Amino acid sequence: MLNESIALMQRATAVIPGGVNSPVRAFKAVGGNPIFFERGNGAHIYDVDGNEYIDYVGSWGPLILGHAHPKVVKAIQQIVQNGTSFGAPTRLEVEIAELITNLMPSIETIRMVNSGTEATMSAIRLARGYTGKKYLVKFDNCYHGHSDPLLVKAGSGARTLGVAGSAGVVQDLAQYTLIAPYNDLQATAHLFAEYGHDIAAVIVEPIAANNNLIMPTAAFLPGLRKLCDEHNSLLIFDEVITGFRVALGGAQELYGIAADITCLGKIVGGGMPVGAFGGRRDILAMLAPIGPVYQAGTLSGNPVAMTAGMVTLQELIAQPNCYTQLQQYSANLMQQLTQQAKQHGITITTNYISGLFGFNFVDDPDNKFFKRFFHLMLRQGVYLAPSAYEAGFVSLAHNEITLSKTIAAAQQCFALMQKTDAYALA
């Protein structure tokens, strides 16, 4: 029963564009009525009709400890009594900056902001200010938040000047964003051959987690590092998802590549609105108040958000095996899902790393299988991302029990899909 969610969606659409405060929440990619939630606990979330779900969205990444982790909740409750924001420096900002610069050696100094979007937007301004160059290289299928220069997609040509991917982005600005396919070093090298003298930065998700889940080829990130070095361009790693999710030092630790600027978000805020960007000291020294690149924030570094982030990071540090645990869980989940699908004549491909996973139905035009699977799983009490193009998130609150429940649910769903002619594979 979703009566209350349906009623709320009706009210919401009257006063909120599309009924939601962020587009993917509207279920447009899967159809049906979005679920309104009111409570989370560990790996579980509860909707306004009282239904329970095992959650594989985790608020799109921040909740690596699961929902309402007792230590995070308690720390927020305690700090909030002292006030929520001062618009002036606090001890916590120093402590979290010390912690992050320790965990990620390429980050020598760091500035806190309020979202991943702010982090990438500011990182680009900084890169342009530092290099005095104007072009930006980004990759197809990578999401870097919704600031104008980063909403640009590839045009129809293989190698092309940016074409705005959103109404409202002025074409004159979009033209400075150059696009190459992810993992395509040759196309990137072509862009450098043509525009290299004026490329301020390459921005990349070192693991692409915003188009299902795409791993970098072995040559890709080292190749980008080399191209940037050869052309005096900066390499920006957008680790908003991968930071503290695939390793304490992010994807850059796994692959041994130092970025010039790293963008963080999601986990670094422990469920509160936080982003951050940091990197080489000489680059960050271009920021106001010591340098000419302006950047600011009324609520940046506020104690409530810093506390949630700090406690989350400390908890990860205190559990040295946590990334192995997440990796095992994701591996088991994807392997068993593949097997179950296969037993029902359905083929899926999967990817996973640490607490991130992605699966794709093979031969699934218009994502018909995915949509059906999504809704069947929902009915079985499993909440997956409402789009075939989003990665899945596992938290440290998921365990063997949630795993076997999820697999049992998937088994039922695949069986139903197999029986329904429209979704049966030849």
Ligand X SMILES: *Cc1c(COP(=O)(O)O)cnc(C)c1O
Residues with catalytic function: 143, 238, 266
Q: Interaction with ligand X in 220-249: which residues (CB under 6 A)?
A: 238, 240-241
Using CB under 6 A, pick the residue from 56, 143, 176, 192 that binds ligand X. Answer: 143
- Residue 368 CA from chain centroid, whole number: 25
Of residues 9 and 240, the one with the C-beta less far from ligand X: 240
Q: Interaction with ligand X in 265-304: which residues (CB under 6 A)?
A: 265, 275
Using CB under 6 A, pick the residue from 183, 188, 210, 330 that binds ligand X. Answer: 210
Query: At its nearest, how many Å lie between ligand X and the CB of residue 421?
Result: 38
CA dist., res. 393 & res. 407, Å (int): 16
Query: At its nearest, how many Å lie between ligand X and the CB of residue 121?
Result: 9
Of residues 22 and 321, the one with the C-beta less far from ligand X: 22
Of residues 34 and 196, the one with the C-beta less far from ligand X: 34
Interacting stretch for ligand X, rule CB under 6 A, among 39-47, 102-110, 142-150, 169-177? 142-150
Query: At its nearest, how many Å lie between ligand X and the CB of residue 370?
Result: 20
Q: Interaction with ligand X in 73-92: which residues (CB under 6 A)?
A: none
Sequence-ordered alpha helix ranges (H) in 256-388: 281-284, 303-318, 322-343, 368-379
How many residues interact with ligand X (rule CB under 6 A)? Answer: 14
Interacting stretch for ligand X, rule CB under 6 A, among 140-148, 175-183, 189-197, 333-341? 140-148
Query: At its nearest, how many Å lie between ligand X and the CB of residue 209?
Result: 6
Adjacency order of strands within the sheet including 261-265: 109-113, 275-279, 261-265, 234-238, 199-204, 135-139, 177-180, 160-161
Tokens standing for residue 398 = 């998921």
Tokens standing for residue 134 = 């104007």
Contact (CB, 8 A) for 34 and 361:
no
CA dist., res. 422 & res. 426, Å (int): 10
Of residues 210 and 395, the one with the C-beta less far from ligand X: 210
Q: Interaction with ligand X in 109-138: which residues (CB under 6 A)?
A: 115-117, 120
CB atoms under 10 Å from CB of 178, counted, come to: 24
CB atoms under 10 Å from CB of 259, counted, come to: 30
Of residues 138 and 398, the one with the C-beta less far from ligand X: 138
Binding string, 23-52, against ligand X, x = CB under 6 A?
------------------------------
**CB-nearest residue to ligand X:** 116
Is 145 a binding residue for ligand X by CB under 6 A? The answer is yes
Query: At its nearest, how many Å lie between ligand X and the CB of residue 60?
Result: 6
Query: At its nearest, how many Å lie between ligand X and the CB of residue 241?
Result: 4
147-156, long-range: CB within 8 Å, 24+ apart, which pairs? 147/117, 147/120, 147/121, 148/173, 148/174, 149/121, 149/124, 149/173, 149/174, 149/176, 149/177, 150/120, 150/121, 150/124, 150/177, 150/203, 152/177, 152/179, 153/179, 154/179, 154/181, 155/179
Nearest CA among 78, 23, 68 for reference residue 46: 68
For the chain, the maximum distance between any two Cα atoms, rounded to a whole number of angstroms, is 66
Query: At its nearest, how many Å lie between ligand X and the CB of residue 391?
Result: 9
Q: How many residues does the chain have?
A: 426
Q: What is the 3-state secondary structure (H, E, C) of 318-352?
A: HCCCHHHHHHHHHHHHHHHHHHHHHHCCCCEEEEE
Tokens standing for residue 195 = 């525009």
Phi-psi label, residue 18: left if phi above 0, alpha if psi -120 to 50, beta otherwise: left
Binding string, 177-206, against ligand X, x = CB under 6 A?
----------------------------x-
Q: What is the DSSP string of 4-63?
A: HHHHHHHHHHHHSGGG-SSGGGG-TTT-SPPPPEEEEEBTEEEETT--EEEESSGGGTT-
Query: At its nearest, how many Å lie between ligand X and the CB of residue 232?
Result: 25
Of residues 115 and 380, the one with the C-beta less far from ligand X: 115
- Residue 265 CA from chain centroid, whole number: 8
Query: What residue ranges bind ligand X (CB under 6 A)?
Result: 115-117, 120, 143-145, 205, 210, 238, 240-241, 265, 275
